[in-house]
Amino acid sequence: MFSVNQRAVQIVKEKIIPNAEMLQCEVHQLKNGATVIDMGLFARGGYMAGKLFVEATIGDMGHVDFGRFTLGAIDLPSIDVYIDLPQTATLSSQFSGWDLSAGYEKGTLMPIGSGPARAIYKNDLGSIDWTYKDIHHETVFAAQTTDMPNEAMAEDVAKKCGLKPENVYILAATTGSLAGSIQVCSRSVEASMFCMLQKGFPLEAVISGMGICPIAPPTKDELSAMDRVNTALMYGCTVRYLVDCEDDEIEAFLKVAPFNISPRFGEHFIDLFEEGDRNFVEVDASIHTVACYEITNFKTGKTFRAGELREDMLARSFF
């Protein structure tokens, strides 16, 4: 059995830490021995830091690249991911399911935890819903945060994974940094796989998935950044899947999956976010998807499409 943590730790040790200066990242050793890599918190980070952040959070289980997104007058770089075994790479690893809300007041921007450590702990939404469980003596955890990860966070991750703190590596970036925007906008396959889980699509039928999403323009305003990255997914993201199942299962899923099916389609993410007290658990559940789906059925050779991109919604949020 392959280990997403083994592969992610290899990225951290061989590609990130030795090249931290070139990547505009900073490496910090905590008092308990845990390692924190600032990839866009106080450090500048950049495109390559963002790409490596993504590769680590999916356990090095796919190809991550930059592309170009054009829609009307909008012309932006995109983050493109190609993933085989997307159930494991996203639901077991990349998915933002690790609760970091303890100690934060209602209505504040709470940090979000994700990454391969979830595949060891296997006790949060997403990871418990897929069969994969990882066993490894080291782990990588990702924090989308405005606060530098400290000993308490590292101790919590270590304890839940049954590891020593010195074997914990934490990647950190704000939402509004370039690396942060890249890593959130890369969650095209992640968000759509979670939608499949929620809507009852047979996950075992999924062979491969890929996604294209515009990289939301970075900003130091974290609330604005949260609006931009989620607007990118809701109104600018397209995913393509290869599956092996019955055509009617695909058709049934596409009737309920894209965001344009939701009665909240056409509303701004920031308004929905405020409505839910800036808590993703409380926000309208229909946002947990992407704009457009294209699904090819290996069994019949047919391709099905649904969804809608919205230039106006992207432009309002981004510019």
pLDDT for res 55: 98
Instruction: Give CA–CA dist 224/226, Å, rounded.
Output: 5
pLDDT of residue 108: 80
Q: What is the DSSP letter of 12?
A: I
Cβ neighbours, 10 Å, residue 294: 15
Q: Which residues are within 8 A (CB) of 143 and not within 5 positions of it... i.e. 6 or more apart?
A: 100, 111, 112, 113, 149, 153, 170, 171, 172, 173
Question: Of 238, 239, 219, which Cα lies nearest the Cα of 317?
Answer: 219
Q: How far apart are CA 178 and CA 39, in angstroms?
A: 9
Q: Which amino acid is at 130?
A: W
Q: What is the pLDDT of residues 269-306, one digit of tens each?
A: 999 999 988 888 788 888 999 999 999 999 999 999 99
For 209-260, the DSSP string reads EEEEEE-PPP-S-HHHHHHHHHHHHHHH-EEEEEE-S-HHHHHHHHTT-SGG
Count the neighbouring beta carbons within 10 Å of the beta carbon of residue 132. 18
Q: How many CA atoms lie within 13 A of 134 on its CB side?
A: 30
Q: Are 90 and 57 in contact (CB under 8 A)?
A: no
Backbone angles phi, psi at 295, to 5 degrees: -125, 120
Taking the CA atoms of the chain, what radius of gyration do you get in angstroms?
A: 18
Say how far apart CA 135 and CA 238 lie, in whole Å.
33
- What is the spatial distance between Cα 41 and Cα 218, in angstroms, rounded to a whole number? 12
Q: Which two tokens stand for residue 196?
A: 């499949």
Structure-derived torsion over alpha carbons of residues 11, 139, 228, 287, reported in degrees to the nearest 10: 130
Judge contact between 62 and 7, C-beta under 8 A.
no
> Do the Cβ atoms of 174 and 147 come closer than 8 Å?
no
- Are 168 and 48 in contact by the 8 Å Cβ rule? The answer is no
Q: Domains in the chain and their CATH numbers?
A: 4-318 (3.30.1030.10)
pLDDT for 144 equals: 97
- C-alpha count within 13 angstroms, C-beta hemisphere, residue 170: 31
Q: What is the pLDDT of residues 205-247, one digit of tens each?
A: 999 999 999 999 999 999 999 999 999 999 999 999 999 999 9
Blockwise average pLDDT, block size 10, the chain, 319 residues: 96 98 98 98 98 98 98 98 98 95 80 97 94 98 97 98 98 98 98 97 98 98 97 98 98 98 97 90 89 98 98 98
**Percent of the chain scoring above 90 in pLDDT:** 92
Looking at residue 168, what DSSP letter applies?
Answer: E
Q: What is the pLDDT of residue 88?
A: 98
Summary count for the chain: helices (H), strands (E):
11, 12
pTM above 0.95, yes or no: yes
